[in-house]
Structure 1
Amino acid sequence: MNTSGRLFSTFLFSPIGIVYLLFLLAPIGFFLSMSLFRYDAFELYVPALTTENFERVLTDGYYQEIIFRTLKIAFLTSLFSLLLGYPLAYFLARSRTQWRGILMFLVIAPLMSGIIVRTYGWIVLLGSDGAVNKTLISIGLIDQPVQILNTETAVLLALVHILMPYMVFPLFSSLASQDPDVERAAGTLGAGRIRTFLEVTLPLSRTGILMGSALVFTLSAGSVVTPALLGGKDVQMLGQQIYDLVLTTLNWPLASAVAFVLVLCQFSIIALYFRGGRHGPA
């Protein structure tokens, strides 16, 4: 590429570069530096370098449990979103009926309402007097309401429902872009439907699987509202902990350390996505 071409490319990428610098790299650099400061109850923080915030986050059993729970819920949310979203995305990608547009709209529709609205909907469903408990009692599976709220199960159910579209659309894009002649060729060579799916369709949709999983994992790991309303104090996640440390405890250095650990986990997943995408099938 000649000099004028490089200058033109730099000109095109400079606006997005400035946006990333101002709204991504600068905040990360700010709370990284804040995480190395010492907490002070009267001044919020003292600019004296220390590693005690990271030592507390990484060695304290309380924070270790929160980190493990956050990663576990984020992983399970990604897994169940993939298991439930892949058949839906496959059907949408292969469907050629007039209902395809309507089905696509139904996938998008949950995104048109706020997270709080959808979360409160799950509270109505999963509460002691909610539809789930009433149904289980009416069919005789239980004699009295069981506690579903304030559990990891409630948080997981809601997160899968809320984040499902972020899994479906990367999968749909990957499946819809596949050449149908490849599947026909596999059938011509004697492969059945299951073998064709496992050895042709599934590997070719690897990019969509990785992208959808990375999106759902990062969004669920950083969620605040849904775990707070459905999990309460019994199901603490990193996002809630950051919120409480900033606005309730006012321990900004410790909150910055927790935030950095969360961002590090999320960026690690994104790095694995790019690594997997590069080594995926052509």
Structure 2
Amino acid sequence: MSAGRASPALLAAPSGLVYLLALLIPLASVLLLSLQGFDFSRGILPRYDLANYADLFTDPLFEEALGRTFRIAFVTTVICLLIGVPEAWIIRRMSSRWRGLMLLLVVGPLLVSVVVRTFGWMVLLGTNGLINGALVALGVPDAPFRMMFTEFAVILGLVHVMVPLVVLAVWASLGRLDPALPRAAESLGAGRLTIFRRVILPNIMPGVLGGALMVFCLSASAFATPAMLGGRRLKVVSSMAYNEFLNTLNWPLGAAIATLLLAAILAATLLWTRFVERRALRRLGGA
């Protein structure tokens, strides 16, 4: 191999080594652990089979938790898109004096620990919390309502965390948008809603799709928010893995749960990426 061809490989070697040590080796270890057996009296058994995966595929509790995990992730993604895309566009149209302040307010939740943010929602959503207290004071029938330890509470907490990711992704796409396009559409008589739907949205779609992918993956693998706002009974896959690792000490089964969650998220990511690629190719073909 010549020196010119070897130089890119040499430059990539340090980052590749870090990637290998920090990600691939731990993931391979988890996969290997998931194939081992477990006995409550003897601990981890030095055998290798698919018994843990067979148990999970026949466990209705795991199927319920998996369905709940992806349902929460999907609803969170849709709500974040409905809030984040118009929000990024509105902030982009603001004057420079207010734009920086509003962007700081949007990104603000990312600067606070997820545990602190979730404790704040626990104070708001509790039976004696501020929201129920206000509803009781207003004389709303059947108040106070049970909001804690529900999917509604988990989705609300995740949306609070994930909306800034959509805003930042769409903001990056808006930065590459030609400002002459909206003005040209306006000069042709298009209204604001038409301009946004027919001109802005198609051009910022890469940012929208990228933000949706980030929100879905992070929501499906989230642990702290579902554990705190969902409680013990509202199980998601991440909390099931945590329970097997630290409560029952069945590490092989916990590793199998984590592996299946990772595989499901990777499959969803690949399908989403394939969808985005096909859409981009259709647009190029049409152009």
State the TM bucket, normalised to the shorter chain.
over 0.9
Instruction: Give the aligned residue type for 2:249.
Output: L
Counterpart for residue 238 of structure 1:
237
Q: Contact (CA 8 Å) 2:68, 2:236: kept in 1 or not?
A: yes
Q: Residue 232 of structure 2 aligns to a residue in which SS?
A: helix
What is the identity, as a one-letter code, of the residue corresponding to 1:266?
I
Aligned to 2:255: 256
- The corresponding residue for 1:278 is 277
**Any idea what SS the aligned residue of 2:89 has?**
helix
- Distance, in Å, in 2 between the alignment partners of 1:98 and 1:30 is 52
Q: How does 1:135-146 map to 2 (within 5 A)?
A: 135-146=134-145
Given that 1:210 and 1:276 are in contact with CA atoms closer than 8 Å, whether structure 2 keeps it comes out as: no
Deviation at 1:150, TM superposition (A): 0.8
Alpha-carbon distance in structure 2 between the residues aligned to 1:86 and 1:35: 40
Query: After superposition, what is the alpha-carbon deviation per residue over 1:5-56, rounded to whole angstroms, capped at 9, x for unaligned?
Result: 4322222322222222112221221111111111122443223122121112
- 2 CA distance for matches of 1:240 and 1:261? 13
- Pair 1:170 & 2:173 matched: no
Partners of 2:150 and 2:263 lie apart in 1 by 26
- The corresponding residue for 1:113 is 112
Partner of 1:154: 153
Deviations 1:87-145 (A, max 9, x none): 11112223333111111111222122211111010010001111111111222223431
What SS is found at the alignment partner of 1:39? strand
In structure 2, do the counterparts of structure 1 residues 189 and 154 end up closer, same or farther at CA, with 3 Å as the change threshold? same
Asked if residue 75 in structure 1 is aligned to residue 68 in structure 2, the reply is: no
Residues 10-21 of structure 1: matches in 2 within 5 Å?
Answer: 10-21=9-20
Shift of 1:178: 0.9
Tell me: CA distance 1:190–1:11, structure 2 relative to 1, closer, same or farther (3 Å): farther
State the Cα distance separating 1:275 from its structure 2 match.
2.4
CA distance in structure 2 between the partners assigned to 1:212 and 1:255 by the alignment: 29
Report the equivalent of 1:84: 83
Distance 1:224 1:121 in 2: 17
Q: Distance in 2 between matches of 1:3 and 1:165?
A: 46
CA gap 1:93/1:51 in 2 versus in 1, 3 angstroms? same
Map of 1:63 onto structure 2? 62
* Secondary structure of residue in 1 paired with 2:18: helix
Paired letter, 2:208: I
**Does the 8 Å CA contact 1:211/1:273 hold for their aligned counterparts?**
no
Q: Percent identity?
A: 38
**2:246 corresponds to:** 247
- Deviation, 1:164, is 1.6
Give the SS at the match of 1:99.
Answer: helix
Name 1:205's counterpart in structure 2: 204
Q: Give 1:278 shift.
A: 2.9
Name the SS for the 2:97 alignment partner. coil
Worse-superposed segment, 186-195 or 4-13: 186-195
Q: Cα gap change, 1:4/1:184 in structure 2, threshold over 3 Å: closer, same or farther?
A: farther
Q: TM-score, normalised by structure 1?
A: 0.92
Give the superposition deviation at 1:188: 4.7
* Deviation larger for 8-17 or 236-245: 8-17
Q: Which amino acid aligns with 1:233?
A: R
> What is the aligned-residue RMSD (CA, Å)?
1.9
Contact 1:94 1:176 in 2 (8 A): no
CA distance in 2, matches of 1:132, 1:142: 14
Listed one character per residue, the Cα deviations across residues 171-198 of structure 1 (whole Å, up to 9, x for unaligned) are: 1111221112223334455544333322
The superposition leaves residues 188-232 of structure 1 with CA deviations (integer Å, 9 ceiling, x where unpaired) of 555443333223221221211121111111111111111111111
Note the residue ranges of structure 2 that are not aligned, 5 or more in a row.
none
2:242 and 2:212 map into 1 onto residues whose CA distance is: 25
8 Å contact kept, 1:137–1:144: yes
Change beyond 3 A, Cα 1:276–1:19: farther
